[in-house]
Amino acid sequence: MKVTAHGNNLFQLTYLGCINMYLVREEDGFTLIDTALESCAEPIIQAAQQFGLPIVCIVLTHAHDDHAGALDKLHELLPEAEVAISARDARFLSGDMSLDADEPEDKLRGGWHIHKTRPSRLLHEGDHIGSLEVIASPGHTPGHASFLDTRDRTLIAGDAFQTLGGVAVSGTFVPLFPLPAFSTWHKPSCLESARKLRTLEPSRLAVGHGRILEQPLAAMDRAIKQAASSLGQSEQRATSLAH
């Protein structure tokens, strides 16, 4: 597991060069964002220990296997830690794969498992977990959530964007790393969420797959433009719809 520091409070943990987790430093310990695969549970705990802080909260951006895989094992090893995920994606953790009547009828893709662990906290748009603000960013999954560190505007965007193989909005086919695109639920929602995340003007973009980008706005703009054109939308049209 490779561990790198970014700014004062963010550590990126990378497994097999392609799956990221994050430790966000708070005064009372770390918030872990995403858990990768089951075999990552112990290395994640060791990574936190090397900085001398406990993991007090486990947060998932979404319920896919490569983000929730070590959840049960971590919950066993850290029974006191809070477990948080969006109320919407929490249903997938318990095996409920239904879509709601007001959600686009698209196929749920990607790897899913039923987990024993029940979240201790269900998240909604605008909630706060320590310094992190919850930003609903549906599209990759119906309940995908991103997290903005309000101290320095670091955006932890899960699979709403990827940077591995090129910066892209979820759902855009990236030949060098197509996994996020293959596991994406509804591309128009991904594009809408990407635009919403861009308006937050993050100073740093941290994603589930790929390296961290500093000052990411120009790269986000290019990725949004590309996603829009592949969906047959122009940015001008999107702007006029927004007004």
Q: Given the rule CB under 5 A, which residues bind Zn ion?
A: 64, 159
Residue nearest Zn ion, CB atom distance = 64
What are the angstrom distances between the C-alpha of 237 and each of 30, 188, 219, 240, 241? 42, 14, 20, 5, 6
Nearer to Zn ion, 64 or 204 (CB): 64
Cβ–Cβ under 8 Å, residues 235 and 198: no
In the complex, the smallest distance separating the C-beta of residue 190 from Zn ion, rounded to whole angstroms, is 11
In the complex, the smallest distance separating the C-beta of residue 64 from Zn ion, rounded to whole angstroms, is 4
Nearer to Zn ion, 64 or 198 (CB): 64
Residue ranges of alpha helices (H) inside the chain are: 41-49, 65-68, 71-77, 87-93, 179-182, 187-199, 217-230, 235-242
In the complex, the smallest distance separating the C-beta of residue 18 from Zn ion, rounded to whole angstroms, is 12
Nearer to Zn ion, 26 or 159 (CB): 159
Nearer to Zn ion, 51 or 111 (CB): 111
DSSP states of 59-80 as a string? E-S---HHHHTTHHHHHHH-TT
In the complex, the smallest distance separating the C-beta of residue 21 from Zn ion, rounded to whole angstroms, is 13
Residue type (1 letter), 50: Q
